[in-house]
Amino acid sequence: MFKSLAERFSFRRTSSVAIESNTRTLSEHTARLSVEDNYVTAEDNTSGAGSLKKQDSILEPTSISSSGGTTSGHDTGSGYGAGLHRVARKSYDSKSLPIRTDGSLDYDALYEDESDNDLSMESHGSVVTHLLSQVKIGMDLTKVVLPTFILERRSLLEMYADYFAHPDLFLRIADMNDTRERMIQVVRWYLSAYHAGRKSSVAKKPYNPILGEIFQCHWDTPELPTGDEASNVEVQDGPVPWCRRDQLTFIAEQVSHHPPISAFYAEHYNKKISFSAHVWTKSKFLGLSIGVHNIGQGTVTLCDLNEEYVVTFPNGYGRSILTIPWIELGGTVTITCPQSGYRADIDFLTKPFYGGKKNRIQGEIYGPNDKKSFLSISGEWSGLMEYKFNDGSKPSKFETFVDVNSIPIFKKKVRPVGEQQEHESRKVWREVTAGLK
């Protein structure tokens, strides 16, 4: 019965086909990677998975190969990273990189390390000058090169998984018995989904996924009853075939290169709930900031109830790019349920030039055909959000809607890099991630 839910999203079913059709192209691109390249482009990854800055490279310009001879630091080898593995074994710095007992680099520990040093553009003055010389206000950033030191050590596809940092709030949507309560819970989960995406106080840019790249993970929610042990078998035709029915599974894929479009899908078999979305990221230079417009939508589907909740996404802004850059969200998003008629309007308020607070939100939830909201929400998407009822059904005073800093973040589970296929995010970017570290 639940299989039909997964079949609705062709990007998941055809991912293997997409990978095969791009195998030659990807191998050609990655074979040309050079550790002497200084920059990676902001949007365009036609040159492959990025490049390492020479002075930050994990390789020496000339290293001793395993055969005893000398080899160039940018030896391409056969396939992505083959040359890097062969010459880099003895050049890893164990003080800054996690090393296994056999001397090899522990890529899994490298990705799980979320420590990040604050950066100041003031120490990279010449790079900033070079960057600003390329752009004009309103210009699309597709062809603009960015310095590697502003990159975050993970793919954009992995970043989308942070929408489920609180999977319990998402799964409780399916447990609500009343249509109105389900709408409120959808809004609660949605507003809690943005704070976990920021791993550092400094705004950094994740890698642009290459065409056909995918990211897979899952979450365990042991405190939520999701079926007995006998029924919790693997869902082999699911998005993550090694996961069980009582786990929330997630897959994301880069489905278009020009324009850059990502698609992602999550489902919980036992709860009969899923979320599917597509996002086209379009960036522009705004003077002292960078704006990223997220074009697309997502849909929460409750299979047993035949209900869908369609959500849109806010825009992102990188502010203060000449000093210490930081991220804020802006714009109006909507959440609508066509079947029940409930809807919500949520404003992500940008910080005023003088005074004011960061990360403010203001939201209203409306009943079917109502012009006046029955519930108002205000607060900060990075902290405490409060709500009150406007229809007299409950006391009209502000109470806690959700405080994202007082609820646990559930850590996603990802297969070890050594077990991943070549087109999975962490394996695609493993050497770039090591170089940035």
pTM, 2 dp: 0.75
Q: Are 375 and 387 in contact (CB under 8 A)?
A: yes
Residues 278-292 have pLDDT tens digits of: 999 888 877 777 888
Distance, CA of 74 to CA of 60 (rounded, Å)? 9
Residue with tokens 């020479």: 54
Which is more confidently placed, 50 or 408?
Answer: 408
| Whole-number pLDDT of residue 290 | 80
Distance, CA of 292 to CA of 280 (rounded, Å)? 10
| Whole-number pLDDT of residue 55 | 38
Distance, CA of 149 to CA of 205 (rounded, Å)? 10
| Whole-number pLDDT of residue 97 | 85
Residues 368-389 have pLDDT tens digits of: 999 999 999 999 999 999 999 9
> Residue 287 contacts by C-beta under 8 Å, 6 or more apart in sequence?
137
Q: What is the mean pLDDT of residues 79-96?
A: 47
| Whole-number pLDDT of residue 326 | 78
| Whole-number pLDDT of residue 376 | 96
| Whole-number pLDDT of residue 144 | 66
Residues 315-334 have pLDDT tens digits of: 988 777 667 777 889 999 99
| Whole-number pLDDT of residue 84 | 39
| Whole-number pLDDT of residue 356 | 80
Q: What is the mean pLDDT of residues 22-34?
A: 40
The distance between the two most distant Cα atoms of the chain, rounded to a whole number of Å, is: 81
Distance, CA of 156 to CA of 263 (rounded, Å)? 11
Beta bridge partners of 399: 387
pLDDT band at 248 (very low <50, low <70, confident <90, very high): very high
Mean pLDDT of the chain: 77
